[in-house]
Structure 1
Amino acid sequence: MSFGIRIAPSRAVRALNLLRTIQSHPPTCPCHSNPGHHHHNGLTGLTPKRRLATPMDRSQQKEYAFEMAASSIRFGPGCTKEVGMDVQNMGAKNVIVVTDPNISRLPAMQQVREALDSVGVNFHIFDAVSVEPKDTSVQAAIAFSRPLKPDLFLAVGGGSVMDTAKLMNLYTCYPDAHFLDFVNAPLGKGLPIDKPLLPLIAIPTTAGTGSETTGTAIFDLVSAKAKTGVAHRALKPTLGLCDPLNTRSMPSAVAASSGLDVLCHSLESWTAIPFNERVPRPTNPILRPAYQGANPISDIFSLQALKSTIQYLPRAVKDPEDFEAQEQMLLAATLAGVGFGNAGVHLCHGMSYPISGQNPGYKHAGYAEHKPIIPHGVSVAVTAPAVFRFTAASNPERHLAAAECFGVDVSNVKRESAGEVLSEAIAAFLVKLGDQPRGLKALGFGPEHVETLVEGTLPQRRVLNLAPNLEQTDKDEERQQVTRLFEQAMEY
């Protein structure tokens, strides 16, 4: 007697056809269709007998996963006064408060002092943070914090303050580290942070950097005449207290520059290369960079931040009493921080670092003491029309979606015109915002500066590796592309 399953002839034919279809059209699941997928141990998808003989070049393996990391955020007018309880809840007994000379005199710091006094916490104030900090000012801050052996850092201020506090935290926890050990390669060693840092609470007083939610800290490396920094998830604050009341003291010029940083954070993270196009795939999760490329979660935050910035920044700059616009810009800055803190930024930021570091003497109106300074938001926005005209060929649909956020009717725009349309929309937005330098020439740069600007940009691999449409396998071509971008950014 035999046992078996009888299949009706019609079903048998369908089953046979299905098997043939599968054989001729392999599955699209990444575990099966990608021969370099981790289930194959990084080896080519050959037969088992040959698999060990032909290892795949790891440098060419594309990423297959993305991570989502962000600080806890509390958002609401008046939440600054809760910081004493937060410090107490975290069990801290010896706090370093980090701020700058201007913020130290404003209500935000007064509330922080009162909140910490009310719970009896011992605290030390470092109020010597520089705007657009240099490596020397950061190292002075680290020298202040190390002997005090704090158990928590509290940053009150803009991006410069929050970034300085992150670096104080890092190098206080690594007292024997050389300053360049964790700095982004190739300017530093780019070592991973392999242990938890101390708790850090960040209270932003500007609506721009989104540093309250990112693992990035930026400073001027004077010897290289360029900005660089440290980027790692371990740097991100434990808690960001986003209190819209603290941004009401921003001068109009600071509100504009901060908002332009949000604009470029949003645009760059929205248009960065997709996370699964980045190479190489990390050999260990600890090596996966904080800036990973555009991904489905970061897209949500970046696009909403872009829409909010376009709607509310002009209002916030025009009317210092428009508290709704100020509140919405602080929220947009935080949203953009989550977006770019995971997806990353690219050319506007990569090119901005030497622009700020090689300032020929430009003084931006509205900044303290009117010293030579190119505010960060100005340095990123000034190249934006040229950058997005260039990057559009990589993904016209995304660039058209961005143009649509500016109010452009893109229903009849051809894909090949996406870059020009978005470039013109950005330029019109900047002009309408008012008091913005219309290109590098207005900052004092000329053709004679292009070569050194290019030299300051090319080492920014952390962000250039995410730049769409940039030739990265041919270094001569990459150099020529960046050179042309600086030339085109002279005027818009």
Structure 2
Amino acid sequence: MRDSEAGTSETGTTETDTEAEAGTPAGNETVFTWGGPALKFGAGAVAEIGYDVAQLGASRVLVLTDPGVAATGVPDRVVDSLRAAGLAAELFTGVHVEPTDTSIAAAVDFARDGGWDGFVGVGGGSAIDTAKAVDLMTSHPADLNDYLNAPIGRGLAPAGPLAPLVAVPTTAGTGAESTAVCVLDVLDLRVKTGISHPRLRPALAVVDPEVTLTLPPGVTAASGFDILCHALESFTARPYDAYPRRRPEDRVAYCGANPVSDVWIRQTLPLLARSFRTAHRSGDDLAARTDMLQAALFAGLGFGNAGVHIPHACAYPIAGRVRDFHPDGYPDAEPMVPHGMSVVLTAPAAFRRTYEANPERHLWAAHVLDPETDQVADPGERLPTAIIRLMRDTGMPNGLSEVGYAETDVADLVDGASRQHRLLSIAPVDVGDDVLTDVLKDSLTLW
């Protein structure tokens, strides 16, 4: 999910070329954009989803989830509520945890001839992102590669509006219920990438803390670190007015740090500081689960507009090129590094590199997460220290070496991360292969 360091738009043209072609005045951007879905939040919200979807004008609704979430019974409750509201509803349980181009193609094939005029994604980011892709590919059929972010794909925009999509998160992490992006693995390239456009953003997010009470500790921790990195990366992102000016049609979903996104992040970090460890330790603590879902939602409303940078760019090859790591709490059928885990493994090293771009923001975040880091002598180490302490308290691996990577893998990981142009351009510092190499080497062992 990144734009190039040179500043490419989502159509793949450089900002300089775009300005020259359109006669756009030279200079830096003066406009930022912000968007979010309609929201329904609170214990018991899922029971009302039939009414809510009917208000969006849908009559035939496909509910998408993965087998693990299906086993909890939550998707069946959604289908029952839809049918009770007089809607035709069907359940698809074939979502792949950490979606791939192949798994999304299978979901699109299932949905293609169904005549669906509404979609509901129930689950973590995998289910919600798959629902976004199915909505896109059935509303405006094309080759998947046409929509993938450049330079991996063509980065084309949807030709028109999509059918209404409702997101029901069952994990507190991805913030996919409030973002305009869809993330997937491209298997042949062994890399993660995404589709990014404002039309992918769900029409409604139905966020019910009760559906997260059964999450295992390992899933709680990994998804929680996705929240943390969403918040920290968007808060420290390059400001929107540091970019060249864009034409209206070239404005991208990730526009850089901006005043509205900052408001959401300043609400996110105190919630994490208060409840992350409790939610990991005591899964049935409804107050802690509520805080974590609010944090995920708020972070999504922040990063879904500002963007993320170095840790997410590195995370894609870390997850996409895994060989034999099997995390606690996830299906054991195949190796995987969960997304939130793959992101946080490079976060301490990344924030060492970005500290000088805005020390005040790094120090504020460190203090909120762990006031004891005020005593760390080197200010640039305070935020990395706060992250590492939280990782140790929640059972995260001690660096890339514990998920199967060695120094000999660094060049391969750099190759994958360097392709994430759209994200790397959001970093507050210039990021070349030298920076990525240093970050990945420093992340082999964290403590």
Instruction: Normalising by structure 1, report the TM-score.
Output: 0.84
Does residue 383 of structure 2 align to residue 422 of structure 1? yes
Q: Which has the higher contact order (CA 8 A, sep 6+)?
A: 2
Question: Partner letter of residue 282 of structure 1?
Answer: R
CA contact (8 A) 2:140 2:158 kept: no
**1:369: how far off?**
2.9
Aligned counterpart for 1:374 among listed residues 329, 332, 337: 337
Aligned counterpart for 1:300 among listed residues 263, 282, 302: 263
CA distance in 2, matches of 1:234, 1:56: 24
Question: Partner letter of residue 118 of structure 1?
Answer: A
Aligned counterpart for 2:114 among listed residues 148, 162, 169: 148
Partner of 1:7: none
| SS across alignment from 1:482 | helix
CA distance in 2, matches of 1:419, 1:400: 8
CA distance in 1, matches of 2:211, 2:342: 24
**1:124: how far off?**
2.0
- TM-superposition CA deviations, 1:422-465 (whole Å, max 9, x none): 112211221122x2101111111001101110000111011100
Partner of 2:424: 464
**1:419: how far off?**
2.2
CA distance in 1, matches of 2:101, 2:59: 29
CA distance in 2, matches of 1:240, 1:309: 21
- TM-superposition CA deviations, 1:140-191 (whole Å, max 9, x none): 111111111210011111100000000000010112x121111111001111
Aligned counterpart for 2:325 among listed residues 362, 371, 379: 362
Partner of 1:387: 350
Aligned counterpart for 1:275 among listed residues 240, 253, 257: 240
| SS across alignment from 1:123 | strand
CA distance in 2, matches of 1:396, 1:88: 48
CA contact (8 A) 2:219 2:328 kept: no
**Deviates further, 84-93 or 239-248:** 84-93
Q: Which has the larger radius of gyration?
A: 1
Partner of 2:304: 341
CA distance in 2, matches of 1:369, 1:55: 52
Partner of 2:294: 331
CA distance in 1, matches of 2:362, 2:25: 29
Does residue 159 of structure 2 align to residue 183 of structure 1? no
- TM-superposition CA deviations, 1:301-320 (whole Å, max 9, x none): 11211221122110000011
Partner of 2:124: 158
**1:123: how far off?**
1.6
Does residue 35 of structure 2 align to residue 69 of structure 1? yes
Task: Note the aligned Cα RMSD (angstroms).
Answer: 2.1
**1:270: how far off?**
0.6
**1:117: how far off?**
2.1
CA distance in 2, matches of 1:179, 1:79: 33
CA distance in 1, matches of 2:322, 2:373: 37
CA distance in 1, matches of 2:26, 2:173: 36
Gaps of 5+ in 2: 1-14
**1:329: how far off?**
0.3
Does residue 409 of structure 2 align to residue 449 of structure 1? yes
Aligned counterpart for 2:138 among listed residues 159, 162, 172: 172
Question: Partner letter of residue 162 of structure 2?
Answer: L
Aligned counterpart for 1:286 among listed residues 224, 249, 257: 249
CA distance in 1, matches of 2:35, 2:369: 29
| SS across alignment from 1:180 | helix
Aligned counterpart for 1:220 among listed residues 180, 185, 197: 185
CA distance in 2, matches of 1:480, 1:486: 10
**Counterparts in 2 of 1:113-128, with a 5 A limit?**
113-128=79-94
**1:60: how far off?**
7.0
Partner of 2:99: 133
- TM-superposition CA deviations, 1:106-142 (whole Å, max 9, x none): 2322321221221231122211000001100001111
CA contact (8 A) 1:364 1:370 kept: no
CA contact (8 A) 1:192 1:287 kept: no
Runs of 4 or more consecutive aligned structure 1 residues displaced over 4 Å after TM superposition:
54-60, 409-414
**Deviates further, 423-432 or 453-462:** 423-432
Aligned counterpart for 1:313 among listed residues 276, 289, 292: 276
Question: Partner letter of residue 336 of structure 1?
Answer: A
| SS across alignment from 1:237 | coil
Aligned pair count? 429
CA contact (8 A) 1:391 1:419 kept: no
Partner of 1:192: 157
Question: Partner letter of residue 433 of structure 2?
Answer: R
CA contact (8 A) 2:123 2:171 kept: yes
Identity %: 40
CA distance in 2, matches of 1:339, 1:229: 18
Partner of 2:436: 482
Partner of 1:88: 54
- TM-superposition CA deviations, 1:385-408 (whole Å, max 9, x none): 101011101111111111111233
**1:55: how far off?**
10
Partner of 2:314: 351
Over 3 Å counting, the alpha-carbon distance change for 1:412 and 1:316 in structure 2 is: closer
CA contact (8 A) 2:373 2:385 kept: no
- TM-superposition CA deviations, 1:51-89 (whole Å, max 9, x none): xxx999979742211011001111010011111112222
- TM-superposition CA deviations, 1:205-235 (whole Å, max 9, x none): 1111111111010000112211001011100
Partner of 1:104: 70
| SS across alignment from 2:332 | helix
CA contact (8 A) 1:400 1:410 kept: no
| SS across alignment from 2:144 | coil
Partner of 2:370: 407
Question: Partner letter of residue 371 of structure 2?
Answer: V
CA distance in 1, matches of 2:190, 2:21: 41
CA distance in 2, matches of 1:455, 1:411: 36
| SS across alignment from 1:289 | coil
CA distance in 2, matches of 1:290, 1:56: 21
Partner of 2:4: none
**Deviates further, 87-96 or 270-279:** 87-96
Gaps of 5+ in 1: 1-41, 44-53, 472-477
